[in-house]
Amino acid sequence: METVGKAVPRVESREKVSGLARYANDCQSPDQLHGWLVTSPYAHARIVAIDCAAARALSGVHAVVTGEDYPVLTGNFLADRPPIAFGKVRYFGEPVAVVVAETERLAKHAASLIRLELEPLPVVQSPSEALKPDARLIHEDLGAYRTFGGAQPVPGTNICNRVRIRKGDMEAGWAAGEVTVEGSYAFDTSDHAAMEPRCSIVEAMPDGMIEVTTSTQDPFILKRLFNRFFGADQAKVIVHAPLVGGGFGGKGSVFLEYVAYLASLASGGRPVKINNTRETDIVSAPCHIGLEARVKLGATRDGKLTAAEFTLLFDNGGYADNGTIVVQSAAVDCTGPYRIDNVHCDALAVYTNHPYATAFRGFGHLENHFCIERTMDLLAKKLGLDPLELRARNAILPGDTTPTQAPLNRSKAARCWTRRTTQPASSSATLRSSWACRRASSTTTTASCSSARIPRRSSASPRS
């Protein structure tokens, strides 16, 4: 609160406004090759055959790499995703091959000559659909995947992580409540839409050195993951991270780096650059997670919360990636800034045939907190209480416990409400008027919200 409204100079501002700033795509070298992704036109399909003969025959093409060439499974917490698909594809835009050529233009042309034979499979479009008993399994071998902590997949289902929070006595909590409200909410997956699309350059040298230049938010994890999945010595993995060009969490996942590494291996160790177009960045790269949620609150007539039940079905897309931890983050903080002694929360990371999810600003808190705050509005309306007063009465304070029953030793909630109640009368009146308008416009206990960010494309049909 002390820094809001104050100008804080950024160390790189002068470089950016003068045009001297360098991003990953600005990096060039004389022997650098270029890669171009071939992506799936289906959201869910079995790969029958990939005909690369015409592409490989072109002069200037150094390699065409498919998933069958390097059938490795990767993942931060659950190893379920191949860098290049093999066997089948699980979302529209998933890479099925990469062409490496002397120029990007030639690589793109060669990619257009590759012929895919795909057998379409039923598409799973939402978490609730994915959880139906007759839903198509997106990962038939889920039980065989390696886990690295942070994921508890349920074999034989489309659940790649399950988080359960239980606190207090729910039966007693509902009995103590005199009023209940319930709200249902939905958010589509969406794109981070960073100003600079993803770009990676990797050189896999003959002596085992791997040099990576990439637009990443987490250069150190690259060293660990290259060691985990390719056996590379971490001391020999050198990562350069130029200015990111906007990330918002989306560039914390490892995506193009794996593909560029495999492309370099297939090209005799020469450096290979893969630079996403805007369309490829939207449809192929990891995205902002989606959510279907139901929140139920119980309270006394004077506004004291007595019980809360959360069902959070997160749309994790075709692969687990960082979405499993986003789900965990949302669950452990499901009650937001409120003290609730009786809590029941089921949070699931659910596979669908959408692009796979990763971190986004707020890391699961924003989506979950919108749901509980909207339900608090519904409760305030039903009780006839001022929405701010309802929140003040239930603010979590030192000595209270979180949903995971961790004792809280400090809290800014009380300070926040004090600032609200001591602000100038005109400002307070404006704020309360705004709340009043929102209350007046609320006529149901079921709400739906679609993201205002760029929606993801997911199709069961070929691109036109």
Domain ranges of the chain: 142-191+287-419+432-441
The tokens describing 344, both together, are: 């029941």
Whether residue 107 contacts residue 36, with contact meaning beta carbons closer than 8 Å, is answered with: yes
Phi-psi region of 141 (alpha: psi -120 to 50; beta: other; left: phi over 0): alpha
pTM reported for the whole predicted model: 0.89
**DSSP type of residue 25:** G
Task: For residues 275 and 255, give the distance between their C-alpha atoms in angstroms, rounded to a whole number.
Answer: 12
- Which helix (H) or strand (E) segment holds residue 391: the answer is helix 387-393
The tokens describing 137, both together, are: 């399994």
> Could you give the dihedral angle defined by the CA atoms of residues 439, 443, 447 and 448, in that order, rounded to the nearest 10 degrees?
-100
Q: From residue 335, how far is each of 222, 292, 418, 424 by CA, in Å?
A: 34, 17, 21, 30
The one-digit pLDDT tens for each residue of the chain (464 residues) are: 677 888 888 888 889 889 999 999 999 999 999 999 999 999 999 999 999 999 999 999 999 999 999 999 999 999 999 999 999 999 999 999 999 999 999 999 999 999 999 999 999 999 999 999 999 999 999 999 999 988 999 999 999 999 999 999 999 999 999 999 999 999 999 999 999 999 999 999 999 999 999 999 999 999 999 999 999 999 999 999 999 999 999 999 999 999 999 999 999 999 999 999 999 999 999 999 999 999 999 999 999 999 999 999 999 999 999 999 999 999 999 999 999 999 999 999 999 999 999 999 888 899 999 999 999 999 999 999 999 999 999 999 999 999 999 999 887 776 676 655 555 544 445 444 444 444 444 433 333 333 333 344 333 333 33
Q: From residue 337, how far is each of 26, 169, 331, 358 by CA, in Å?
A: 44, 20, 13, 24
Strand runs labelled E in 130-277? 159-167, 179-187, 199-204, 210-214, 237-240, 272-275
Phi-psi region of 188 (alpha: psi -120 to 50; beta: other; left: phi over 0): beta
The tokens describing 24, both together, are: 């990953």
**DSSP type of residue 299:** E
Quickly name the fold that domain 142-191+287-419+432-441 has.
Aldehyde Oxidoreductase; domain 4 (3.30.365)
| 272-275 and 33-39 strand pairing | parallel
The tokens describing 205, both together, are: 């040298």
